[in-house]
Amino acid sequence: MFGPIRGSWPDMNWKGWWGNNPPYHVPTFILTHHARAPIQMEGGTTFYFVTGGIHEALDRARDAATEWMCALAAT
Can you give the pLDDT at residue 73?
78
- Residue 59 structural domain: 23-30+41-75
Q: What is the pLDDT of residues 43-69, one digit of tens each?
A: 999 999 999 999 999 999 999 988 778
Can you give the pLDDT at residue 40?
95
Q: Is residue 9 part of a domain?
A: no
Can you give the pLDDT at residue 1?
59
Q: Supply the pTM of this predicted model.
A: 0.83
Q: Is residue 62 part of a domain?
A: yes
How many CA atoms, within 13 angstroms, populate the side-chain half-sphere of residue 56? 10
Contacts of 41 (CB under 8 A, 6+ apart): 15, 20, 21, 22, 47
Instruction: Give the chain's domain count.
Output: 1
Q: What is the pLDDT of residues 3-42, one digit of tens each?
A: 656 777 777 777 777 889 999 999 999 888 889 999 999 9
Q: Is residue 74 part of a domain?
A: yes
